[in-house]
Every structure is written in structure tokens, then in C-alpha cells.
Structure 1
């Protein structure tokens, strides 16, 4: 029976025609396992995942493997992007049992959903130290017949142990000393030769870089800025960055940023757009500016949906081959470029032996071209040919939290780089999420082609989308966005708080579907944790709302920070967004309220503020009293004026861009 055919998840739809009798996650699936008294195979992945495709082809499309699965198990397929709550519960179990995690994730559960054996990818044939998937299926089925109670008892012990490990962290301050120490620890972990942190594989440390930029702005730390410069330069020069069309792949498989894992995720590109925008406005770096503009173009041109939102990702594979769309040989460049080919081969480091697989190379740009017009001619020619090649699949579901990140990035970049069309795109995305994802006053996680999914929004959805709406309020001056943001924040504070540990939050609402554990992970990873995103939105909202709610929002943000003090001290790379929030609070956050009679009167002041306000700061322009931040802030002698405040302390208003620049420099 095809139970996946009507799913809103492209990942589930990829498996709809498997011979495996898949169920989506549901109470009906668990009830079927209880009725048959058989264990559950839980397979978790996502549409752009290369090894998910490999295991699907090797195992889930194989008739004999499917027979074993159907005969002995109830088989459940989950899109981790659509159900991050399920993914979080069983990924924690997988990491506890195996010491590592990843996707595809393969877990064996009791009919009650308790995990008793977990892993990731399993091959179709045995390998040294690794059983084949069929062998594993047979062993688990036999163990269920012979040692059922033992497996149940073991699953219970696993959950008890996980409950101990995943409880709220003790309270600890995140003060200026912790922020300074975090820079020292990050510097010790930095790869000063190749850029970035740690060894291969290298992931873009977007939120860590945002923290370091904010720390530099507050303290003047040359060390913090150099860490950002080195990493941002290296990432944009290697193959992880698309030298033809902009946008970043998920990670580099090597330490030199040469070969990417080719999937392109919405969240990576939104977070990196913020980093390169802020680096460009801080340093004037031409490279950072180029990358920021191209990344914004990638979001709009490659990930935009008809409904106005942004799609989740582009696949790592094309026609089952990883990177097929993107790689080149010297001969191919010769055919496309003619007389420009030899120059392009050297510039992009396309070698005869190849930098990737089977003699192909990923394009790199380790130095600026000596002829920019020639480079642009070559880039356009190669991109035109590449666009005629088979293209990677697109996971076109719309995720609320990731669209919130996109709205924030496009608003900040649009304001700082004077690109109003990016703000227009952010507005369309916000309208799409509000129109499609808000059902009976609650936020849903995902949609596809305008059809909303059933999965409830998790904390990161409420928090990231609220943060995006607050950015949109600043970019447009429209108070509707502030009102919608505060509704989400108030609901998050009410429904997601851990009432037994002030400042801690669960990732699911108190009335959400009950899983074997209620997930609660404060660590920042590839994207902000729900709790850190909430703290960020609360800190911003605290200076945008009226005085009746400002103190409550700030207190909630500060209290949330105390729950990650130990995390920030021990592993700052997994607390990047938290540290960025702490930097914003340490500077106030800085607020610039620009008042005038019309946009023409205040435009220069607003442009100056958007370019110079520290990261995490707030800029709002409009007529006096048109928004809470602009209340009781009159014109000065009939002229537009800017009011600069740090926390609860305000400077005298200024009326010229030069005076505003001086005030922000102080």
C-alpha cells in the first residue's frame, strides 16, 4: 500500500514507490506495530542527502530486502526536516549507542517507540566491522523472537539514561569574561593556514563567525576579526562556494575547502549571507560584498517558490551522481570558452587529473582575476552551459524556521547594501508563511505548493520566524510585523518553557504529540537551536516593543542565557548563536530611532545607521510616534533626527549622517 503518495515532503515522495511497505510517522503506524507485536524500523533522512539516496537504491528498492522488512517489521519513514522533534529524540539515542550520528539514520524500536538498536547507513553487503542491512534485519527479527523482554528492558534503560543526559544545564553566567575566553578557545581551535576550525570535514561556522564579528565591534579585538577574515576568505575561494552562480554547499569534505558535499541548504546560505554582509559593511571587503550579493541572488533565483517562500534545498546528486551538474574538465572548458579556455583553466584550477572524481574538477577561485570583464564573460558562458545540463533535484517544501532565517538575512542585507528588492522578497516570504502556515493561531512546520503539512511548529519555527518579522518591521517600519512577532514570542514563552527550570525550553510545545522523550537541545549546530533563536528574538523585541513588555522580554532573554553558560565555556563552537546574543545584550542592544516626515527626509540617516549599527543592534525609521521605538522622539527644529541608545542610556539626537556616524563610533 502506498501511504506516502500524498505527503507534503519530497523525501517521503521519493520513497512512495519502494517495495517497502512504508508508513509515515503516525499513531496508526505505532498501533499497527502493537497489533502485530513486531518491532519498528525507523528510517530518517532528507531529500538532499546523498547517502540517503544510496541506501534507498541499495536496500529500499531491493525486493528481497523489502520482503524481510515487510514480514518482520512495521516500517516508518520520516523526513528529519519536517519532523525535527522525532529526529532529535532518535538522533540522541543513536549518538549515545554508537558515538556518532548522521543521515540516513536507522533505528529499531519497540512497538511503543522505544529505541533498542540504532545506527546510520548500512550497506547491502557485509564490510569489515559492519554487517549488511539484510543481516541486521535478520538478527533483530530473531532477537525479537528470542529475547523480546530483554530488548524492551534495554530500551527502557536507554531512555532513562538519555533523560539524565538531556536535562537542563545548571545556571551559569555568560558575561564579558566568558565572551573573551570564547575567542581564546576558538583561536586555539582555528586552522590558521587554511581557515575555519578543526579538520576535515569542514562545515561553515556561520553563527560562530557572527559572534566573532560582534565581539570585534564591541571590543576592537583584532584576533576575532582575523578569524572571521581567514575563514570567510577561504570558504569563498574554494569549491564549497559556487563560483558561477553564488551560494554555498553544505560542507567541504577536505580541510582545504576544495571539494564540497554538493547539497545546498537554505539555512546555510541565509546564515552566510548575514556573515558576509556584516563583514562587508565592517571592513569594506570587495570579496565579502561580492559573495553577499551573489548569495542573495542565489536565494532569490534558485530557491524562491511560486507562493513567495523559499525552498529547503538543492540535492547533492544529479541523476544519482554526486556533483554531476557542477564539475568540469579542461576539455569541456575548451569547448565552451575557446580562446579564453587556457586562462580559465588556470584561474579555476581545473586540472588534467581532476580535483574531484574521474578526472573532473570543482571550480575554485584562489585569486582575483586580472581581467574582471574577461572573468564575467567566462562566468556567464560557463553558467549558461551548466544551466543546460541535468540539474539537481530541489526539495521545494517550505520550512517556517528556515524562511525566518531568510527573512532576517534579506532584510539586514537589503538595508545595509541598499537593495530594496531583497526586502520585497522578505516581505513576500513573510506573507506566505503567515497565510499558509498559521492554522488556528498556531504555526505549522512546513508546506509544499501552498499546501500546509500536519506537523506542528517547533520552538525554532516560532523563534526564527519571529526574529525575521522583527527584522522586517525594522526594514519597512510596518508595525504589523512587530505585532505578529510578539504573538509568536508570547506563545513560545507560554507553551515551550520548561516550568521546572527557569530559562530552559523544550523544543516541542506542551500540547504537542507526546514522543518517548520531549526533546530539548540548547546547542547550536548547523542552524540556531530553538532556545538560542528565541533568546535572540526576545533581545531584539525588548527594544522594539512598548515599555510594558520590554523588561519581561529582556529578562527572559537574559535568563535563557544563564542555561548555556557551561556550554559556552566548554564548547563555544556549539554556542555561536548564544554568544552572538550575549554580545548584543552587552552592547545594549544598540538602538537607532530615526524620525522624519517622510522617507526622503530620513533616508540618509537610516542608510548610515544600517551600515554602521553593531550586529544585533536595531534600526527603525518612520514618522514620530508611528511605532513604539519612535514614540516621544520628535523632530529637531523641524529636521529629521536620529536617536542613538545603548540599553537604557541615550545620546542627544543628531541630524546629520556625519554626526550619527560619530555617535555610533563612540
Structure 2
């Protein structure tokens, strides 16, 4: 191929990402991110046009239809650029680097992300969505600038790369420590979060509203420690509003990614595994702590949504699309006439009131997103829901991103394990075990964790920090629930690998998001802020803090020191940006309680005291059960006078053992 030629093929049909495969038939000669693609750009001496998105992204689809499927646009792209497509979910490291560049250059980010790079990967112009005419003008302008003002492009790209490296090094090598991780810091962070709550509709901040799943979990842990009515009210207000709004699927269960309005009425209809796993954990925790019937219902329905609609074999897929046949939300919304056709006159009138369907509608073209402002007659509701769901299933369905992401499956394992306790539902625990088994068997290759798979075929992308942290946390939850040593040993292997390859050698407590032996990008990402999912740094800190009390020997101190250092380095986030540190707050709440450890000397399958310990334990507590010496927490701890005995410790300080549930509840400071 001569330097002036464009590769004459689109290679995305070979990808393991459904998002990339969606673009395999584009006339654009898309390539995956590979050393060869970058080498082709250097050989042709043309810029790289990097497009980053994900399968459930509505505006990614819009730009694809308008531009990437258009022959005129494709011809311009193919002639003057090497065009590279990246799935942000499969390669979050690449996404992080160029999202930082996009935000730095434009003041905001989002997907689809559109970046123009030099052949060695330095960005010189970035943006997000462009309509066809504007995109064609941009392509022409970039091409002319590249050809006639190359020196300016090189200078600009050098400056941008230099600034991004400064930002990364200031975070990666010189992280300032924050205040001590103490109850006062957690209470300060909670107070800051509560000041931002919507007192009417719940949530924090204004529209668009994203489910604050990590914050809900953190607030519940704070409530368990402080007993603050204001904290529990914030959880209940937000949990109720989301569960009764259109962001929650009132027929099949499961939450959409966010609401475009303050009242949670109109969602952006894509459904993500990570949202539903995190919210399942929070609602199950709320249900376990208070017995709230809505929390119990939503936790059960969300777990069923995972098992019924987000499975691929024994593992969980990434998402359901926002669009159906190019129309956002078309599967889910209803008009009064559609209710009549589905239910008849009498039930349709009842359903319209029960689900807030009006002639004016709450969505487009007079259609309404189903809500559930109250709890009507349960038997009639069950019958009507079943009838509507049966009709809905005859409609065209949203596309699925069948990609299996390690970290998100780790979140699902944790949530299902905890929901099985909260709801006394063994099926959820069995599903978590099946998922963990499949991940262990397929996503660990030659001793190292991989990021994703599709159809049982694992991809080449190396796992990042969040994959290790979230999967390890899930495996530790399974170990506590099942006492099966394979889950603890696999978690230990992941944590040891993480300490070796992801820890910042210049700053104890600091973490990089990619391994030291992973592909070297323009810079090595390290973002500790919690977003829609916990950061890799907060996730690995949770896993280390838990594991430290389940292992023995040198690992105990190594894990304790690593988790304490991480909390110390990042406590500044709790002091200054609590809403962006929801999972850090949850981990900190566990840490300031010791963390709490409950070891029950018993025969686990028959122990009512162990079941009660799991039910009563605060969020983030460590609970194990078994015979004496079967776990480091059970060394030297026996049953007492032929009765099961619970040993409660906070950090390295332990109470006297108790043998009755009422005594255990008193020791834990929770209602029995």
C-alpha cells in the first residue's frame, strides 16, 4: 500500500465488541485501535480520526446514521484519515485519555467522542457529536490545516499532550494527603451531600438526574452508624421517587441510565448492567435494614431483570439499547388508545390512572412513560402488568450489547450475593456463583485478568484496575456467603496482581487505572473520582479492606496498609467533593467502624445465628461462619456450651461472644 492510499476495507467485523460490529457495514474504512492502525497513519502521513462510543448510546447511533453510513462523508474520511473506532466499555483506558483531552479543549465531554490525532496519538482537535454538514466542514478544515499549517498542528498537539501529562503526573506522582479518615470526616461528607439533595423529588443536583447508587449505599452505612433520621429520609425520598418514576421499568423491572427531568419521569431509555447491579445492592441494603416493602419489591424485581434480561449463559451482558428501530423508547411508552387495545375499556381506564398515562403524554407524540405514583389493588395490578408486558413483548425490542465486562459482572456478583441475604432468596446466590465460576474460567488467561468477552470468546484487552477491584469484592462476598475457599484464593490472586502492577510506586496509596505492563498510551490514566460506577481506586480499596480480615500472615498487614494508605491519600475527595466520592464514602464508613467483623462459630448450613448475623450486619461488615479455625476470624473461636457463638470485633478490638440474636443485635447497635 502506497502512503497515499487508504486501506480498502473495514475490519470491524472481526471485533469482539458489538458496538464495533454495529459499524462493520459502514462505508468508512474503520480500523480497531492497534499498533498497525497507528503505523498506517504514519506511513500515509495523515491524521487519525478517532471515534469513541458505546452500543447503547443514542447520539452515537444518530451520528452513525447521519454520517458514518453516508457515502459522501465516508469518502472524505477514507481519503484523508486513518479512521479508528473504539468501544469505550472495552477500552476505558483509551476513552479516559481522550476524554480528558476533549474536556480540556472544549470544557465538556460526552459520546460520541470525535478526536483528531497525530499518527503517534497526540490530540490536536476534539469534540463530540457533529451533524453531517458540520462534520463535512470539519473534515475539510482539519485536512487543509494538516496540509498547509502542519507546524501549527504539531505545536498544538505538543502543548495539549504536555498539559495532559502534567495533569496526570500531578495526580499520579504527587497526591496530597487529606484529613484523617474518621467519623467526623464521614459526617462532613454526608452533610455536604445532603445540602445538594432535591427535597421534593429526591436525588442530588438538577436534571439530568443520574441514579446516585454509590451515595445511597454510603448514606445507608452512615445511617447505620449514626442513626440520623435525616440521612434515612434522604435515602427513602430518592429510593421511592426513582422506583415510582419512569426511570424504573414498571412492567419488567430494571432502571434506565438517567432521567432527563427533575422528577425521574422521562428516562434516557438505555439500561446498563452497572446501574442495575449498583442499585440492586443499595435497594437490597435498604430492604435488609428497614424491611421497607417498596425496597424489597424493587430489589427483587431488579434482580429478576438481571437474571431474565441481561444474561448471556452464566454471565451478564452490558446493556439494552435506548433505541428500538431508530426510535428512542419506542418499546416502552404507551398512549391511552394502546392501553385500550391491550386491556379493554375498563382495565385501560384503571391502568391509565395507576401508571399515570394521559392524553397529553409525558414523552413524544402523546405517549407516556409508565410511572407508579401509588400502590393500587395488588391483584389487579399483577394481572394488568402481565397483560401489558405480554403486549410489549410483541413489539420490536431494543438491541442488546452482549459484551461481558469483568468489572460490571463483579458488581452483579456482589449485588446478587447481598440480595440473596436481604430477601432470603438462594436463587440469587446460585446465580452469583455461576457468574463467578464462568468469569474465573474464561476471563483469567495465563494468570492475568482480561477486560471483556463476547459469545464466550475472551477479548485481547487487558483488565484495568476497576476489573480487579470489583471482581475481587464480588468473590469476597461469595466467600463470606459460601465459605468455599476457591473464591478467597482467586480474590487473593487478583489483589496480589493489582498491588504488583497497578500501585503507584512513587506514592503509597495511589493507583493507576492500567497495569505497568499494559499497552503504553500517550499517558497512563489515573482517575480516582467516583462516577456512574466506583473508581478503580475506591473499588480496589474496598476489596483490600475486606480481604485484610479474611487472610492471615504477611498479607493481612500488606492489605491493611494498602487500604489505609489509599483512604488517606484520597480523603481529600470526601472533604472537598463528596458527591464525586460516593463509593469512597461507603468504604470510609466501613473503615471507621473497624471495619466490623462478625465471626460465627457454627455448622453453617444449620445455623440460625449465622443467618441472623448476615441479616443484621451493617453494610460493609465482614461476616464469616464455620467451625473453629476454619477461617482466620475463627482461629481459637468455638461454639459455647453447644450453642453457636458470634464474635464481634471492630478493627483489633473484640467484644465477648454472644449466643442469642437479641444479644448480637445489641452488640451491632441495630434493631433485632
8 A Cα contact 2:10 2:27, kept in partner: no
CA contact 1:329–1:360 (8 Å) conserved in 2: yes
Cα distance per residue 1:490-525 (max 9 Å; x no partner): 110110011111111100000000000100000000
Tell me the CA shift for residue 451 of structure 1.
Answer: 0.2
Structure 2 residue corresponding to 1:104, chosen from 86, 99, 112: 112
Name the residue aligned to 1:317: 323
User: After superposition, where does 1:363-374 map in structure 2 within 5 Å?
Assistant: 363-369=370-376, 371-374=377-380
Distance 1:150 1:243 in 2: 55
Alignment partner of 2:623 out of 619, 625, 632? 619
Q: Against the structure 1 CA distance between its residues 200 and 598, is the aligned structure 2 distance closer, same or farther, given a 3 Å change threshold?
A: closer
Q: Shift of residue 625 of structure 1? A: 2.1
Whether 2:667 is the aligned partner of 1:659: answer no
1:124 aligns with 132
- How much does 1:2 deviate? 2.9
Q: Which moved more, 1:318-327 or 1:628-637?
A: 628-637
Is the Cα–Cα contact under 8 Å of residues 546 and 629 in structure 1 kept in the other structure? no
Kindly provide the CA deviation profile for residues 252-298 of structure 1, in whole angstroms up to 9, marking residues without a partner as x: 00111000000000000000001111111122211111000000000
Give the Å deviation of 1:623: 2.4
The separation in 1 between residues aligned to 2:108 and 2:230, in whole angstroms, is 32
CA distance in 2, matches of 1:175, 1:138: 57
The more displaced of 391-400 and 280-289 is: 280-289
Q: Is the 1:216–1:225 Cα contact (8 Å) retained in structure 2? A: yes
SS at match of 2:334: coil
Which is further off, 77-86 or 192-201? 192-201
8 Å Cα contact 1:599/1:622 also seen in 2: no
Aligned counterparts of 2:35 and 2:47: Cα–Cα separation in 1: 15
Partner of 1:163: 165
1:280 maps to which residue? 287
User: Which aligned pairs between 1:484-499 and structure 2 lie closer than 5 A?
Assistant: 484-499=490-505
Q: State yes or no: 1:390 paired with 2:392.
A: no
For the Cα contact (< 8 Å) 1:191–1:197, is it kept in 2?
Answer: yes
Corresponding residue number in structure 2 for 1:181: 188
Give 1:639 deviation, angstroms. Answer: 2.2
Which residue matches 1:128? none
Candidates 178, 191, 196, aligned match of 1:172? 178
Are residues 1:88 and 2:96 paired? yes
In structure 2, what is the equivalent of residue 379 of structure 1? Answer: 385
Q: Distance in 2 between matches of 1:178 and 1:136?
A: 49
Structure 1 length normalisation: TM-score? 0.97
SS at match of 2:541: helix
Of 400, 412, 415 in structure 1, the residue corresponding to residue 418 of structure 2 is: 412
| Contact preservation (8 Å) 2:604, 2:610 | no
TM-score by length of 2: 0.96
Aligned to 2:5: none
Deviations 1:611-636 (A, max 9, x none): 11111001112222222222221111
Asked if the contact 1:273–1:292 (Cα under 8 Å) also holds between the matched residues in 2, the reply is: yes
Residues 1:154 and 2:162 are matched in the alignment: no
State yes or no: 1:3 paired with 2:5. Answer: no
Instruction: Identify which of 642, 648, 655 aligns with 1:644.
Output: 648
Asked whether the equivalents of residues 465 and 537 of structure 2 are also in contact (C-alpha less than 8 Å), the reply is yes
Q: What secondary structure sits across from 1:643 in the alignment? A: strand
Structure 2 partner of 1:265: 272
Please, which of 458, 462, 468 is the counterpart of residue 468 of structure 2? 462
CA distance in 2, matches of 1:633, 1:296: 36
Does the alignment pair 1:220 with 2:222?
A: no
| Matched ranges for 1:468-507 at <5 A | 468-507=474-513
Distance 2:603 2:395 in 1: 53
Cα displacement (A) at 1:598: 5.0
Aligned-residue offset at 1:20? 0.2
Give the CA deviation at 1:556: 0.7
Q: Is the contact between residue 503 and residue 511 of structure 2 (CA under 8 Å) also seen in structure 1?
A: yes
Query: Which ranges of structure 1 fall in alignment gaps of 5 or more residues?
Result: 126-131
For 1:644, what is the secondary structure of its paired residue?
Answer: strand
Q: Which stretch shows the higher mean deviation, 163-172 or 519-528?
A: 163-172
- Say whether residues 1:353 and 2:355 are aligned partners: no
Name the SS of the counterpart of 2:312 in structure 1: coil
How far apart, CA to CA, are the structure 1 residues paired with 2:626 and 2:425?
18
Native 8 Å contact 2:257 2:271 kept in 1:
yes
The CA distance in 2 between the partners of 1:569 and 1:164, in whole Å, is 24
Q: 1:629 aligns with which of 627, 630, 633?
A: 633
Deviation at 1:543, TM superposition (A): 1.2
CA distance in 1, matches of 2:277, 2:196: 25
CA distance in 2, matches of 1:117, 1:551: 47
- Match for 1:115 among 123, 129, 135? 123
Distance apart, 1:52 and its partner CA: 0.4
SS in structure 1 at match of 2:548: helix
- Once residues 593 and 65 of structure 1 are traced to their aligned partners in structure 2, the CA distance between those partners, rounded to angstroms, is 64
> Any stretches of 5+ residues in structure 2 without a counterpart?
1-8
CA shift at 1:317, angstroms? 0.6
